[in-house]
Amino acid sequence: KAGVTQTPRYLIKTRGQQVTLSCSPISGHRSVSWYQQTPGQGLQFLFEYFSETQRNKGNFPGRFSGRQFSNSRSEMNVSTLELGDSALYLCASKDRAKGEKLFFGSGTQLSVL
Amino acid sequence: QQPVQSPQAVILREGEDAVINCSSSKALYSVHWYRQKHGEAPVFLMILLKGGEQKGHDKISASFNEKKQQSSLYLTASQLSYSGTYFCGTEVYTGNQFYFGTGTSLTVIP
């Protein structure tokens, strides 16, 4: 089985722009969650989607949004980028019927200049 | 609700043991442990559910103390391949969002 795929691997944007990140979960996994990773802060939960519905949302401003499609692929959008948004964005999928184990993608490294 | 991990960093020589702790201020349903090597995705190590069960995985094991809301990861006879950042992830109830700790950087040297 292919693992969790995130695209693009690297992104460079300037302040004020918006960005869309993509995540393809493992085949059969309907739950996708997103995390922001920065040095010293660890992994901060952004949101989780299951069957196209947002189930949980972390403590991030409304500039961060996401969605999930019928094929379980998910996208995350950040509008009006700020310097502090520079981070590694990880997505993870899981098969809820087989437990809560998360499978992570390699992430998208976003740099905001 | 982010769990607190300690220590923040540890350096070991091959063959030495280490303990990484994860504490929460909230009652927990489960604790997960993941390891992330530099430039790679975090990889699942084990999950401990409410009930205090201790789990093992090769020379890596973990325990979950419900009363203290604390989990500990034990690495025995460390190998070079154990190097990486270890994260604990906690869940207050099943289906709830995960809160990950800030990580413990573990370096094993020859």
Say whether pLDDT at B19 is over 70.
yes
Nearest partner of A89 among A46, A32, A58, judged by Cα: A46
With beta carbons under 8 A apart, name residues in chain B contacting A99.
47
Q: pLDDT band at A42, cuts 50/70/90?
A: confident
Say whether pLDDT at A15 is over 90.
yes
Q: pLDDT band at A9, cuts 50/70/90?
A: very high
Q: Do A90 and B47 touch (CB under 8 A)?
A: no
Q: Quote the pLDDT of residue B91.
A: 85
Q: Do B102 and A40 touch (CB under 8 A)?
A: yes
| Average pLDDT taken over every residue of chain A | 94
A100 or A73, which is more confident: A73
**Rounded average pLDDT over B5-33:** 93
DSSP states of A9-74: SEEEE-TT--EEEEEEPPTT--EEEEEEEETTTEEEEEEEEETTEEEEE-S--TTEEEEE-TTS-E
In chain A, residues 34-93 whose CB comes closer than 8 Å to chain B: 35, 40-45, 48, 55-58, 90
* Backbone angle region of A52, left / alpha / beta, with phi > 0 → left and psi within -120 to 50 → alpha: left
Q: pLDDT band at A97, cuts 50/70/90?
A: confident
- How close is the nearest chain A Cα to the Cα of B44, in Å? 7
Q: Quote the pLDDT of residue B94.
A: 65
Measured between CB atoms, does A98 come within 8 Å of chain B?
no
Q: Quote the pLDDT of residue A95.
A: 85
Say whether pLDDT at B104 is over 90.
yes
Measured between CB atoms, does B47 come within 8 Å of chain A?
yes
**Rounded average pLDDT over A59-65:** 96
**Rounded average pLDDT over B19-35:** 91
Measured between CB atoms, does B96 come within 8 Å of chain A?
yes
Q: Quote the pLDDT of residue B53.
A: 64
- Give me the residue from B41, B47, B91 closest to A104, CB to CB: B41
% of chain A surpassing 90 pLDDT: 84
Dihedral of CA atoms B26, A106, B37, A86 in degrees, nearest 10, equals -70
Q: Quote the pLDDT of residue B86.
A: 97
**What's the CA gap between B35 and B78, in Å, rounded?**
14
Per-residue pLDDT of B41-99, as tens digits, reads 999 998 888 776 666 677 899 999 888 889 999 999 999 999 999 999 998 876 677 78
**Residue A110 CA: distances (Å) to CA of A20, A37, A89:** 10, 10, 7
Nearest partner of A72 among A94, A48, A50, A105, judged by Cα: A50
A73 or B54, which is more confident: A73
**Rounded average pLDDT over B30-39:** 92
- How close is the nearest chain B Cα to the Cα of A11, in Å? 15
